Structures are given as structure tokens and as C-alpha cells.
Amino acid sequence: MKSNTFLLRSLIGAALLTSAGVAQAPLAVAQKDSSKGKTPAKRPFIVCIDPGHPSEISSGANAHGLSENRLNWQVAVLLMRRMNTRRITWITTKSSENQKVTNKQRADRANAVGADLMIRLHCDVGGGSGFSWYYPDRSGRHGGVTGPPRSVQIASRAAAETLNAAMIPVLRGRLKSNPIKTDASTYVGGKHGGVLIGSIHSLVPTALIEMCFINNKRDAKFIDSVEGQEKMADALEAGIVAWKARVGK
């Protein structure tokens, strides 16, 4: 994993530069146009990549000597690199692997740039295997906020379906797909009216993926390999590209 670590370090540097650059640009364009009373320029498609954990809820799962937090970050960095290659504008919620960011702060980051999609990368532990997408299908309440709005619920479902469908052929034979679920089926969601905290505060389409079950031997072997992580990033890239096309950008 030594060479991989080195590669990741170089990528993070490049990625963060890009992230900082794009995070402000879309807002600046919108403000300038409205002050002159002109029709705002068409904004680029923006994806917010959220490597899950550590947050106010959890520092992430561990199994088979694997750290969910690390795996989420490693896949996220590979995905950022792919977005750069495709010239798709992206932002992220973390600037280092162990940076603690609350779920509300993560949502706020995507909201601030009016992201077209917020994808939240996680790995599960439990009795299953394969990848599973989750989306909010109702409003919950957290920190004095009720959300997400109905329009975000509808768009989030469409995003989860689009991403899931695009990922299946890429991961076929390597990692199985599970039926799409709602936040209500998650433990944390269950405590906040059936909605994850990050979803409650989201004003943009948001979907969370449990990329695999790291306590499942086969899944763990897949996601711990450079090849498996690259494959997962390929699949997520295909999903983002499909969503970009669906929203017409």
C-alpha cells in the first residue's frame, strides 16, 4: 500500500487546489449577474463528494483491520481525480482523512454552492454484502430545522435510482447491488423522524452509499485492494455522469 499512499498524497494536493477554486466561483457568478439585473449565466454541474466520518455521530466502522473512514477517503480521492479528468466541477466536505465535520456542516457545504448532487460515501457492517443506496423520502427534524423539502426528497430518490442503475454494470461480478432503501431504514435516521441528519439539512439532491460490508470477507478483500477501490470509483463516476445527463447539464 506504500505506493498507493504516495499516489493518494499527490492527488489530494491537486484535488484540494481544484476544490478551493471551484467552491467560490459559482457563487461569485450568480451574485454578479443578479446585481446587474441580467439573466444568470448557466451554472456548471457541481457534485459534492462527501467522504463519510468522522462526524458528531461516529468515527466510522472497523472490521477485518479495515477503517471505514480511511476507505471512504481513499475512494473519494480516486473519484475526485476522475472528476478532474472529466472536467466535472466538484467540491468536497473534508480536506484531510481525519478531519471531523458534522453532518450539518457537510450539508451546508453542498447547499452553499447549490450542488446538483451530494454523494455521501460510507461502508457498512452487518449481515449483508454488496452496495446499497439510501435517500430521504420524508422530512425529519434536527437542530430546529425540518427537512429536506419535498422537492429534494423527489430529486434524491431519482439520483439514488440513477446512480444505482449506472453502477450495476460496472461492478457486475465483483460486488452485488442491493435494493435502494430510504434513510428511514437506518439506525440514525430512525432517531430523527426517519431521516439522516445530513439529509434533513440538505437543500440539494442527496444520496448515501454504503459501498460494501467491510465485515464480509469478500467485500473487505474487494474494497481493500487498489483494484477494488478503482472499480468503485469507476462505478461512482459512471453514476455521476448519468445524473449529470439526467439533469441536462
Q: Which residues of this chain interact with Zn ion, rule CB under 5 A?
A: 52, 122
* Nine-digit cell string for 190: 430512525
Q: Least distance (Å) from Zn ion to the CB of residue 210?
A: 7
**Nearest partner of 137 among 124, 148, 121, 128, judged by Cα:** 148
Q: Which is nearer to Zn ion, 165 or 188 (CB)?
A: 188
Q: Which is nearer to Zn ion, 173 or 187 (CB)?
A: 187
Q: Least distance (Å) from Zn ion to the CB of residue 58?
A: 7
Beta bridge partner(s), residue 122: 210
Q: Which is nearer to Zn ion, 63 or 203 (CB)?
A: 63
Q: CB neighbours (10 Å) of residue 224?
A: 18
**Nearest partner of 118 among 185, 180, 209, judged by Cα:** 209
How far is Cα 43 from Cα 13, in angstroms, rounded to an integer? 25
Q: Least distance (Å) from Zn ion to the CB of residue 221?
A: 19
How far is Cα 2 from Cα 70, in angstroms, rounded to an integer? 14
Q: Which is nearer to Zn ion, 44 or 54 (CB)?
A: 54
Q: Which is nearer to Zn ion, 109 or 122 (CB)?
A: 122
Q: Least distance (Å) from Zn ion to the CB of residue 184?
A: 17
Q: Which residue is nearest to Zn ion (CB)?
A: 122
Cα 30–chain centre separation: 25
Burial class (CB in 10 A: 0-12, 13-18, 19+), 143: exposed
Q: Least distance (Å) from Zn ion to the CB of residue 123?
A: 6
* Nine-digit cell string for 66: 479495515
Q: Least distance (Å) from Zn ion to the CB of residue 41?
A: 37
Q: Which is nearer to Zn ion, 69 or 164 (CB)?
A: 69
The dihedral built from the CA positions of residue 239, 202, 156 and 187, taken in this order, carries a sign that is: positive
